[in-house]
Amino acid sequence: MSRNIKKIAVLTSGGDAPGMNAALRAVLRAGVYYGKEVIGVYRGYEGLIEGDMKAMDARSVANIINRGGTILKTTRSKGFLTADGRKQAFDNLKKNEVDALIVIGGDGTFRGATVFENEFDFPIIGLPGTIDNDLSGTDFTIGFDTACNTVIHAVDAIRDTASSHNRIFFIEVMGRDCGFIALRSGIAAGVELIVIPEHHTNMEELIKSLSKEGRNKRSSALVVVAEGGKFGNAADIAKQVKVAYPDYDTKVTVLGHIQRGGSPSCTDREIASRMGVAAVEGFLQNKSGVMAGIINSKIVYTPFSDIVNTPKPIDLDIFRINEILSV
């Protein structure tokens, strides 16, 4: 059934990601281009419950495409997990005469959007904003490329001190329970080993590969470890290596939240802009309950149910390539 959408609300939810502001800018300006009113919702679903909304225009998003984080702020809302909280959010949307909602976030954001759409038959389209890149329905999520670039710059700097002191560095990167950041940034930075949850790592073989013979007599080594792995974090793995080789100088660096900040890369600005326009145009095509993503450089709309129920596969062939390049 065709919907007469005149006013669109937009929010950012969950963890922040570089490029969210670029997506917001695209939503605002596409809305203006197509003659729609757009209002910003502050602090994600929590702001929706509290009615923290403000009308925006094209000038409201001037000079934000280069900024990290999100000018709308974000939070994880416990209230939106309850029926009463979602009802309050719906009432606030109707009170402000909002006809449709665009949500920018990750897996949890889309799970909440799915429930909300089903309960109130309210038009919603999502944009994939997360550094983890763990959402099916798109080749890359907004923020992933910038996070990988941040890791690469850090590893490049660590390599200097590792080689100067003949050290083995274990560098822990984010990703929750997936290894996309570790895998992509690890091979781009030229590290010796990569440890991710999706790939079975034999700890005995890993330790053996870090022996001087295993390293082809290299004096130093870099190991990128994704958080949430079977054998623990980078510190846990480093301890096991230290037990096997007590004379080795091992160090651990946890990059942490620097991966979520910073000015978004060219790739993140570009895909966020394309996705933001696609979200508005999706409503013009009477779409709802879908995420606007990019696969093979083409805009695609994938149902929320497929996004939250279909794990995104990781290209394990990169391990084979990394083994070849780390001889």
| Cβ–Cβ under 8 Å, residues 264 and 107 | no
The CA distance from 46 to 261, in Å, is: 22
Catalytic: 132? yes
| Cβ–Cβ under 8 Å, residues 294 and 300 | yes
Token pair, residue 175, equals: 């990703």
Neighbours of 238 (CB within 10 A): 21
User: Which residues share a beta bridge with 127?
Assistant: 104
Residue corresponding to tokens 């030229």: 190
List of residues 6+ apart from 272 with CB closer than 8 A: 19, 20, 22, 23, 26, 127, 129, 142, 264
| Cβ–Cβ under 8 Å, residues 65 and 34 | no
User: Which element (helix H / strand E) includes 173?
Assistant: strand 167-173
Among 16, 99, 121, 132, the active-site one is 132
> What residues are labeled active site?
132
